[in-house]
Amino acid sequence: MTLIKSISGIRGTIGGEAGDNLTPSDVVRFTAGYAQWVLRRVSSRRPVVAVGRDARISGEMVYSLVEGTLVGCGVDVIDLGLCTTPGVEMAVVAKGADGGIIITASHNPRQWNALKLLNGEGEFLNDAEGREVLRLADAPDFSYPGVDSLGSVVERCSFGDEHIDRVLALPLVDADAVRKRGFRVTVDAVNSVGGIVIPRLLERMGVEVDRLNCEPTGDFAHNPEPIASNLTQVMEAVRRNGSDMGIVVDPDVDRLAFVCEDGELFGEEYTLVAVADYVLSATPGNTVSNLSSTRALKDVTERHGGSYAASAVGEVNVVAKMKETGAVIGGEGNGGVIYPALHYGRDALVGVALLLTSLARSGRCMTELRAGYPQYYMAKDKIALRPGMDVAKLLSGMKDAYERERITDTDGVKIDFPEGWVHMRGSNTEPIIRVYSESGTPEEARQLAARFVAELEELAARA
């Protein structure tokens, strides 16, 4: 069906023909390319790579191929087993590894899997590094080592408890205040690794936990992308349980969404806004999010006296801009919180701990918290790519058509209007053009997105 190579890793559907899907031979080929990239960076000794996976059904099969290929290339492996994406990122640094591979397709449905590739700092490869890995995978100019030079699995361990320990040790996380508040929370972890670590974190903070889809079977109870249409079950459970809030994570636990005590969504775009508001109240500074994220973060940042900057979409781009601007908090509007005091990676665990501390210290409930922020509404639409569709040409056509407006073209085309904005870009993770819009009412946002979807389709029809 699909094989996508981008800054978000090597991602595809399981089965089918090699080169068109994520088949066993593709897993081996790209893992070997990455192994050679690591070997060329670490030439004085045998390199070590940390590997972890989410709980999706194909994970064990892909994991076995990755581990065996690394060993066969002369690379030692730290086997983290079932592990979140932020957990693998942190483990790379904590264990002194030279890189990491996370086997997860993040929010994609059950037929997908992927290899997310990390450097020795536990951060995603940049564009140049990723291109070199792809070059090595597509045109290998290396030979494999003999039997005396094979790698080995040097450690098998879990990193979940250490991850939780490090979150709870942060100065802005106050487990005692949360414990005194006596929260009751419903957790939906879509039957992946979040079902292990999120309840454990909450219980250590003294929170009563109602589990929903928390068995890490990989048999996703619903489409795993944490957006409104997929979350009706947890919204009803929050009302039924009388919970103070609902917590929703995607399969690899780098995206975070909240449900208010009334069973309504807090808004995935406002996850970062709320966490940033609390962090900035204690440590004033700058913030970063990507071009497809809400204007509300800019408003909140400026309210605290800081400066806001926007990056291209993709965690590696957000991290680069955060380092450039010295941001104290940042992330993506898809519920991805990056808190550099812990590490440079989207991390739902730190988002949960900081948000609960904010509520506990302020005495507010979720609906009160949400009401205190600028009220923007976002619509997220898309166009499935068809044979012959030229994404770059379509976006260039839209840029030309709106040349009188304020345009940003560092990642697709974003057009800012006085009443809102629209951002059109090719996806890093799916064969689609994403069309995101934001405005002052839900209807205006939907109309804006629908208008530009129609205009893109019209351009495509004329091409």
Buried b (16+ CB within 10 A) or exposed e, 300-339: bbeebebebbbbbbbbbbbbbbbeebebbbbbbbbbbbbb
Element (H, E) at 11: strand 9-13
Active site residue 293: no
Angle at which helices 269-282 and 296-303 cross, to 10°: 10
Q: What's the one-letter identity of residue 172?
A: L
8, 58, 106, 437: the active-site residue? 106
Interatomic CA distance for residues 86 and 99, integer angstroms = 14
Interatomic CA distance for residues 460 and 443, integer angstroms = 26
Q: Taking the CA atoms of 361, 362, 365 and 367 in sequence, report the sign of the dihedral they define.
A: negative
Cα 25 to chain centroid, rounded: 26
Ordered DSSP codes for 132-180: HHHHHHHS-------GGG---EEEE---HHHHHHHHHTSTT--HHHHHH
Supply the DSSP symbol for 229: G
Q: What's the one-letter identity of residue 301?
A: T
Cβ(254)–Cβ(336) under 8 Å? yes
- The candidate with the shortest Cα–Cα distance to 69, out of 127, 38, 27, 97, is 27
Contacts of 210-217 with C-beta under 8 Å, sequence gap 24+, read: 210/184, 210/185, 210/186, 210/237, 210/241, 210/243, 211/187, 212/186, 212/187, 212/188, 212/237, 213/188, 213/189, 214/187, 214/188, 214/189, 215/191, 216/55, 216/82, 216/189, 216/191, 216/192, 217/55, 217/191
The residues annotated as belonging to the active site are 106
